[in-house]
Amino acid sequence: MKHPWYYSHWVAERAIDFIETDRTEPFFLMANFFDPHHSFGAPQEFRDMIDADAIPEPNTKVGELDEKPAAHHAYSAKSYGGTAPGFQDYTSEEIKEIRAQYWAMNALIDYEIGRILAALDASGQAKNTLVVFTSDHGEMLGNHQQLLKGPQLYDDLARVPLIMRWPDRFQPETEVAELVQWIDLPATLLQAAGCATGNGVQGRSLLPLASGDNVAWRSWAICEYRDSGFACDPQIMTTMLRQGDWKLIIWHGEPACGSTRDGELYDLARDPGELQNLFHDPLPPFNLARHPRAWGFWHNLRGIVG
């Protein structure tokens, strides 16, 4: 399909039309791009930008699935609860091309967002407009011997981009180290619009962090999955807790769901690729001098979900 016929191009065109329309009231615009997404196909001119040989090989190791909860085997064989092809259905060369197509789709999105930002600049509204770039999820793309999204809570899926631009308020190229979540975006957008936070908004505004203010912030982030999208039999429910360099993932069992209880634990400082599951180690992988209650926590945790 040629570039002008792609849905992502259409989204950019509609966003630019909106920006170029004269108005006196403040506005909220959401440009929801479907790309990058399977079935992994980009316009040829964007695919031509990508050198497949320069893309790293999938992140995995021999025997990795044997160290992870059983559902990882199932999601390696088939995706989306058994309804779509999985990693094991493709050759290494096909996975390589899928990754190249995904990179090319990102190049397409970069181009289209550039057009939107250029239109915003040309309209004279850029300095007083908050722009937020983010994504609802990542993709496995062969990493950990899996292809698509699902109940796996690797960083490949759960750690998504979040870039904010507001020339009147933010210093460019400021990097925030705190753990933030999508749940913080409603409060952020409401504060930017000068509105009250509203009932039921659980997150916190990111504007103080992005502005460089010295604010106390939570030291953790949570991500949850429960039988989302394509249902599995038995049901799957997973919960992730990230605190500092530690990442704990619980695969729930009864009474939450019918799956077998299990878990994953990663030391991201030493294992950023999440390849070494420490959950079943006999000793707690914590510094006991710094965490005197770690022994009790570790034994209780493994006794409940191990």
CA separation for the pair 141, 149 (Å, rounded) = 9
Q: What is the rounded CA–CA span in Å between residue 236 and residue 90?
A: 25
DSSP 11: H
pLDDT at residue 216 above 90? Answer: yes
Question: Which residues sit opposite 243 in a β-bridge?
Answer: 220, 246
Beta strand 220-226 pairing with 262-267: unpaired
The pLDDT tens digits for 41-85 are: 999 999 999 999 999 999 999 999 999 999 999 999 999 888 899
pLDDT given for residue 280 in this prediction: 86
For residue 177 the two structure tokens come to 């180290």
- What is the CATH code for 220-306? 3.30.1120
Give the angle subtended at the CA of 39 by the CAs of 134 and 81, to the nearest 5°. Answer: 90
Tokens 């925030």, located at residue = 176
Q: Give pLDDT, residue 152.
A: 94
Confidence (pTM)? 0.90
Mean of all residue pLDDT scores within the chain? 90
Residue with tokens 């001098």: 289
* pLDDT at 229 (0 to 100): 72
Give yes or no for residue 38 having a pLDDT over 90: no
Instruction: Return the domain boundaries, the chain.
Output: 3-176, 220-306
Bond prior to 36 in cis (omega within 30° of 0): yes
CATH architecture of residue range(s) 3-176: 3-Layer(aba) Sandwich (3.40)
Sign of the Cα torsion 98, 104, 105, 110 reads positive
Helices 7-19 and 92-123 pack at an angle, to 10 degrees, of: 10
